[in-house]
Structure 1
Amino acid sequence: MRRYVEGDENTLQCEIRRYSTGGIVMRWPGLGAQEHDSWFTCALHHSQERFVITTFLRHTPAGGDSTQWIHVGDRDLLSTSAVMAVLTTTPVVHAGLLKDKTLHCQFFVDHKQANVTVQWWFQRRGERTKLFTHSSRTGHSEGKGVSIRGLSNAGNASLKLPPITQASEGTYTCSVLVPPLYASQDNILSIMEPPRVSVNVGPSLALTLGSEQKVSCDAQGYYPLDVTIEWLREPLDSSFIPEVLKNILFSSHRHHQDGTFSLSAFFLLQPSLDDSGYKYTCRVQHQALLTPVRKSFTLTVTEQDSTLWYISVFGFIIFMIGILVWLIPQLIAAKRNSARKMY
């Protein structure tokens, strides 16, 4: 068993149970087996879901009824042989959409030319579907995704899945039958697609006092649905705790044809001079992300340039004077023409 187990005792969970052959009485083909053997299973689970291995332990008692459980006292020492093991290193799988994925399943038997039947089943929303079956006794196979050569040479019953879609999410069960022993391992596949995060402004934003800017943060293409978007206002000095903005509006969740979702969070930025030099950060959290995604910009706020204001006013006055200079002669000429017509 140690050949296939990784981790120390603090990461392993071990469970030993009696195993019933369901009334089937037969001699195990391995060395030293008897019709009246007693059976146990030893299941080792890694606490971080790195693998699950189930090993069959055979004990040959001195006589007794093979149909009855042998009595095991608290201090009894049983000598057993590990004769078969079924292992998966993918008990829990997270996969992205349209990605290729292989679910691991491998078995080991203590004798050659074993009579092995391997099956893969898929269960989703209460419906169970057979994906693959192979019998070494007949050589007959149904389904696809498992290498027959790998089965024969190394007991490798791993299943290669087609590109992942939403319909791929569910429980895949690999079962191995070597009479009278039967074991199965579950591989739970869930889709995890991280969001693509963007904001509608660059890394720096300059505004004049009295102006405003709509700022939006978009999280796109994520799965499953739950996502958290926050806008933070934080000084450049990282020793201060950032402020979570409250005046944030959210769009509705948008559902795309590929099954993913999108969401936007936006607000209207009407800065004061005190806001200048602050960093505004969009922080997005999703279960497909190991750490939140952060997109930031630094705000600069300036007062309106009084020089430009004076130039504008002065230009307006000059323009009005020019109009008056042009209009006054026209009015005088018109008045003279009117007087001549009267005489």
Structure 2
Amino acid sequence: ILSLSTETVDSPTPLPPFRRVDIALLCSYMREDVRGLQPAFGRLSSEHSATLVLRSIRVRDDGNLGDVTEYKVPQEVSGSPSSIVFEASAQSVSIPHAEYLLHADCDGDEVNCEISPYSSQQASEGPCHTSWFVANLQLSGKISIALVLRGPHCDSQQEEKEHHAMLHPILRIPMSKEGTLLTTVEFQSSSQNTSLHPRLGSSVTLDCHFALAPTSSLSSLGWRKQHRGSGQSIFWYQVGSTAPAVQPKVHVDVVELLRSGDASLSLHEVSVGDEGTYICSVSTLLHQVQHIIQLQVAEPPRVHVIPAVVSLDRDTTVTLTCIIAGYYPLDVSVRWTQKTPEDDHVEIPLSNAHLSSHRQNQDGTYSITSYLSISSDTAQAPATYSCHVSHMALAEPISVSSHLKAP
């Protein structure tokens, strides 16, 4: 006898279909100075408004795309000497976090985009050499993306003659008939956490991914930590070497690095000494891109008030002690309030408390103590005295109370 179950099994929710769209981003172009030098501190550079158009990018259609249309180059671009429009094809390299870039305006996020020439040799190689650019994107200070763009180049003498007559007035490189610069994405790297606040003893992953066009290959990966003027290499891998050079407590999966472009670094048993600026550097034979991740330890305080219950005799004074321990970083705010049964919804701020000096513990965290004196001459029992502590590692202040009993 064959028995069939009558229970209905929920089928998995199908993923939204993919769709190809154009993503247009307003950018700044940092122009090299007259000497052909890269923009850098102490060197001359000028800034121009620019547009980066990522062509035919594959994104999930969640039903909110509507009638998204292909980006049309404005007619005024070809006639304007100050217009800089980069059209970037990404047929060989996928664009990371494309959905976030597409919906940034609707989600209230801000995309900062800066484009600069990668090589400083453009001026000496003529209008038909291959030009390289790097576009750095920051999405609301959380996601960073670097795109290495390969500019137009000439495949024949006829093309070179045509390009000589169609040079961009600012960049002095070949442009399309519409007045845009046709580029391809050859190398992309991204990080989805530019700032981390792990707790002591936890493990944290510093995200860094990349993808290369088939014509490029990974040369090396390095992770470096900088803090208070000093720096050190904590991971280095050269493709072809037998093993990476790595510091204790850190790990990069070399198999995943080579297979999928996952260059993320895992940091175990976080301590105060791990705080600093971490730099992920991904290199090919021609290019290098970097991502900067700030790591700041955030350990919330432990708060105790002693005694928890107190009674006052006539002509006496009692001191309440609020112990705030084990927090990091240093800044902490402490305040006291009083509440009575007659007015249970109103907390009266008290100003007669005083603080000890900060004490640093062996693990690098801090402690402090706040004292509040209660006199039988002024106190009204019963009452509740509360110590409120605010710290960056807390989503909301901690409040711990001591109860004054009626005589």
Structure-1-length-normalised TM-score: 0.73
Contact 1:16 1:40 in 2 (8 A): no
1:16 Cα offset (Å):
3.3
Q: 1:229 matched to which residue of 2? A: 334
Contact 2:119 2:133 in 1 (8 A): no
Q: 1:45 matched to which residue of 2? A: 138
Partner AA of 1:126 in structure 2: G
User: What SS does the aligned partner of 2:255 have?
Assistant: helix
The equivalent position to 2:180 in structure 1, one of 74, 77, 94, is 77
1:274 Cα offset (Å):
6.8
Measured in 1, the distance between the counterparts of 2:405 and 2:172 equals 80
- The residue correspondences of 1:281-292 to structure 2 (distance < 5 A) are 281-292=386-397
**1:13 has 2:117 as partner:** no
| Percent of residue pairs identical | 26
Alpha-carbon displacement from aligned partner over 1:125-160 (angstroms, at most 9, x marks no partner): 222211222222556532252111011111111112
1:292 Cα offset (Å):
1.3
- The residue correspondences of 1:51-62 to structure 2 (distance < 5 A) are 51-61=143-153
1:40 Cα offset (Å):
2.4
Q: Go from structure 1 to structure 2 and tell me whether the alpha carbon gap of 1:206 and 1:218 turns closer, same or farther (over 3 Å shift).
A: same
Unpaired segments of 5 or more residues in structure 1? 25-34, 303-343
Q: 2:246 matched to which residue of 1? A: 143
Measured in 1, the distance between the counterparts of 2:376 and 2:214 equals 77
Measured in 1, the distance between the counterparts of 2:284 and 2:117 equals 14
1:173 Cα offset (Å):
0.7
Contact 2:119 2:131 in 1 (8 A): no
Contact 1:271 1:301 in 2 (8 A): no
Q: Go from structure 1 to structure 2 and tell me whether the alpha carbon gap of 1:139 and 1:297 turns closer, same or farther (over 3 Å shift).
A: same
Q: 2:262 matched to which residue of 1? A: 156
1:277 Cα offset (Å):
4.4
Contact 2:389 2:397 in 1 (8 A): yes
Q: Go from structure 1 to structure 2 and tell me whether the alpha carbon gap of 1:61 and 1:264 turns closer, same or farther (over 3 Å shift).
A: same
- Tell me the C-alpha RMSD between the 2 structures: 3.0
1:260 Cα offset (Å):
1.2
User: What SS does the aligned partner of 2:404 have?
Assistant: strand
Q: Go from structure 1 to structure 2 and tell me whether the alpha carbon gap of 1:197 and 1:71 turns closer, same or farther (over 3 Å shift).
A: farther
1:179 Cα offset (Å):
2.9
**1:100 has 2:203 as partner:** yes
The equivalent position to 2:233 in structure 1, one of 123, 130, 138, is 130
1:290 Cα offset (Å):
2.1
- Greater alpha carbon shift after TM alignment, 217-226 vs 96-105: 96-105
Measured in 2, the distance between the counterparts of 1:196 and 1:77 equals 59
1:50 Cα offset (Å):
2.5
User: What SS does the aligned partner of 2:363 have?
Assistant: coil
Measured in 2, the distance between the counterparts of 1:91 and 1:159 equals 13
1:51 Cα offset (Å):
1.6
User: What SS does the aligned partner of 2:225 have?
Assistant: strand
4+ long deviations beyond 6 Å: none
Q: Go from structure 1 to structure 2 and tell me whether the alpha carbon gap of 1:173 and 1:271 turns closer, same or farther (over 3 Å shift).
A: same
Measured in 1, the distance between the counterparts of 2:232 and 2:202 equals 22
Measured in 1, the distance between the counterparts of 2:96 and 2:299 equals 34
1:14 Cα offset (Å):
2.8
Contact 1:14 1:42 in 2 (8 A): no
Partner AA of 1:191 in structure 2: V
Measured in 2, the distance between the counterparts of 1:115 and 1:268 equals 66
Measured in 2, the distance between the counterparts of 1:208 and 1:72 equals 90
Measured in 2, the distance between the counterparts of 1:140 and 1:84 equals 25
1:92 Cα offset (Å):
1.0
Q: 1:29 matched to which residue of 2? A: none
- Greater alpha carbon shift after TM alignment, 10-19 vs 262-271: 10-19
**1:187 has 2:293 as partner:** yes
- Greater alpha carbon shift after TM alignment, 244-253 vs 213-222: 244-253
Q: 1:174 matched to which residue of 2? A: 280
Measured in 2, the distance between the counterparts of 1:126 and 1:210 equals 57
Partner AA of 1:230 in structure 2: R
Partner AA of 1:44 in structure 2: L
Partner AA of 1:146 in structure 2: V
Partner AA of 2:180 in structure 1: L
Alpha-carbon displacement from aligned partner over 1:240-271 (angstroms, at most 9, x marks no partner): 4x332122122222221111111111122124
Alpha-carbon displacement from aligned partner over 1:159-212 (angstroms, at most 9, x marks no partner): 12242223211111110112322110111111211110111133x545455554
Q: Go from structure 1 to structure 2 and tell me whether the alpha carbon gap of 1:3 and 1:119 turns closer, same or farther (over 3 Å shift).
A: closer
Q: 2:364 matched to which residue of 1? A: 259
1:96 Cα offset (Å):
2.1
Measured in 1, the distance between the counterparts of 2:344 and 2:283 equals 60
Measured in 2, the distance between the counterparts of 1:111 and 1:257 equals 51
The equivalent position to 1:276 in structure 2, one of 381, 387, 392, is 381
Contact 2:152 2:174 in 1 (8 A): no
Q: 2:219 matched to which residue of 1? A: 116
User: What SS does the aligned partner of 1:288 have?
Assistant: coil
Q: 1:31 matched to which residue of 2? A: none
Q: Go from structure 1 to structure 2 and tell me whether the alpha carbon gap of 1:223 and 1:274 turns closer, same or farther (over 3 Å shift).
A: closer
Unpaired segments of 5 or more residues in structure 2? 1-93, 123-127, 155-159
Bigger Cα Rg: 1
Contact 1:12 1:44 in 2 (8 A): no
Measured in 1, the distance between the counterparts of 2:231 and 2:193 equals 20
